[in-house]
Chains A and B, each alone.
Chain A
Amino acid sequence: MSALAVEGLDVRHGLLQAVHGVSLQVAEGEIVALVGANGAGKTTLLRTIAGAHAPYSGKVLLEGEDVTAVPAHKRVAKGVALVPEGRKLFTAMTVDENLRLAGAVGRKGDWTVDRVLETFPMLKARRHARCGGLSGGEQQATAIGRALMTNPRVLLLDEVSLGLSPLAVDLVYASLKGLIESRTTILLVEQDLTRALGVSQRVICMLEGRIVLEGASRSVTREQVTEAYFGLGRDHNASAGKTS
């Protein structure tokens, strides 16, 4: 049974439909990268899986259990954690307080503040600093650490490299490596294609709310992904369909 499954998901923001009938599955311990242009519906999809948006129709399943109607804070207890786009830390609180709160209200497990600090050594010196004053990389590490403190079975990472210097991105990904090796199930949105393909086992490309390409990260080529990413193949396919 897949750790996470989405079936025929439609999500609307008012009149705008952001996600059209998306179905996907992520197996236990698998790392899936979600790529696509801005506005393709990636963030909306992740937020719907986490429970921050109610879908218009469709289902979200966790280890086979339908959690579509479960509110976000209870979904955390079932093992879903989202690292939101833009980090969304509680800036008036310290790193330690952000982590402790998540540990106290999240799912029980073996993540502790100390273990997060081991995973992200750059946070050790900033443990009691207010999050508002941290660098982008430190904030991102805290945001990931905060999600880990809820002991997720499925970790959703939304654009962890957004707004960070290349050096900070390297640091964050280096710290994530331990996590990846511990076989945590991860669904991540990443704009950097090389990084997305390098870190994941499978890649899913979205375009205008639909999945247009899905395949093993090792077997798909950059060209295939780029084509799907910009929707270049569509007109060609459509005309090919007509002539045949």
Chain B
Amino acid sequence: MTLLNAIIQGTLLGGYYAMIAVGLSFMVGVMRIINLAHGSLAIFAAFFLLVLSQKFGISPFLALVVVLPAMAGIGWLLQRGILERSTRAGPLVPILSTFGLAIVIDNLLFEQFGANTQSLAPSIGSLSYDSWALTDTIYVGKLAVLTFAAAVALLGGLQLLLSYTTVGLAIRATSEDPDTAELIGVNARAINATAAAIALVTVAIAGMFLAMRATFDPYAGSLQLIFAFEAAVIGGTGSLWGTLVGGIVLGLAQSMGAQIHPQGFLIAGHAVFLLILFTRRFWTVQSFKLLAGMLVGSRTA
């Protein structure tokens, strides 16, 4: 029963990791940009929601009405002002520039809000601690289930957008070959900015769930970035549904690790991430050798 509980809680936690990885995965897979400011932008969105909900006494969900368009606008500016210029200078430069941006955001938040830990949990009433009883011993948090459902909905929504809408097709075409996309009538610059706007909308939603389920402070972004990275890499970078799988694998690993040892939570997650990373490398080398062996074999035969 403990094991089953660990699996259920781990899977739900995985939904949260998938949620914070969506924007990162979308940017890597579709825009070919590694955004190291991802975590810091999520924390920025969390503070934004916090300020609105405290100042006007509204629920964070209602505050999204303001924050989502604002973050979309920031995404647009980010692409036009930073990413577009740095991508022109080479594929590695955006990594540096977004790393710098992360430092700027973290410190601006620190200057404004200080080192206190904050949370949106007080703004959402009983949702932060309510749960459903599955059996006598297994309970699932309503917020955790909501987070999981939101992650699935967000990933599914993005997948539908990319497969069926003109904007989605244009985003995919532009990511593959912006020059040719222009030749069939796609405004590649505008499409890239739109993609960045979409990515930051998902970052804002991730920031909200992060702030509702736990506490955060101005420097919390880098840890979120690591979790997002691990989920995205485990699932296969750039694959949207893979991101969900990656998040669940990470969540399960952490949840199992905590069963083995009370402090095994984080280390088990990182260990599984590294294991998968190395296994993947090993597999490609192995299959390459196998192929080479077959070719040599057929020649001598």
| Known contacts A97-B169, A100-B169, A101-B169; is-contact A92 B176 (Cβ 8 Å) | yes
* Number of A-B contacts defined by CB within 8 Å: 72
Q: A-facing mask of B185-196, CB < 8 A → 1, else 0?
A: 111100000000
Q: Is the CB of B184 within 8 A of A102?
A: yes
| Known contacts A93-B169, A105-B170; is-contact A76 B185 (Cβ 8 Å) | yes
Q: A-facing mask of B141-175, CB < 8 A → 1, else 0?
A: 00000000000000000000000001001101100
Does A90 make an interface contact (CB < 8 A)?
A: yes
Q: How far is the CA of A106 from the CA of B187 in the complex (A)?
A: 11
A residues within 8 A CB of B177? 88, 90
B residues within 8 A CB of A76? 183-185
Q: B-facing mask of A72-112, CB < 8 A → 1, else 0?
A: 11101100011010001011110001101110111100000
Q: A-facing mask of B279-299, CB < 8 A → 1, else 0?
A: 000000000000000000000
Q: Which residue of A lies closest to B184 (CB)?
A: A102
Does A52 make an interface contact (CB < 8 A)?
A: yes
Question: Is chain B's interface secondary structure helix, strand, loop, or mixed overall?
Answer: helix
Q: A-facing mask of B179-209, CB < 8 A → 1, else 0?
A: 1111111111000000000000000000000
Size of interface on B: residues with Cβ below 8 Å to A: 17
Contacts A90-B177, A90-B180, A101-B186 supplied; 11 other A-B pairs, CB < 8 Å = A51-B182, A51-B183, A52-B179, A90-B181, A92-B176, A93-B173, A97-B172, A100-B166, A101-B173, A101-B184, A104-B166
Residues of A within 8 A of B (CB): 50-52, 71-74, 76-77, 81-82, 84, 88, 90-93, 97-98, 100-102, 104-107, 146-147, 149-150
Between-chain CB contacts (< 8 Å), 9 pairs: A73-B187, A73-B188, A82-B183, A88-B177, A88-B183, A92-B172, A100-B169, A107-B185, A150-B185
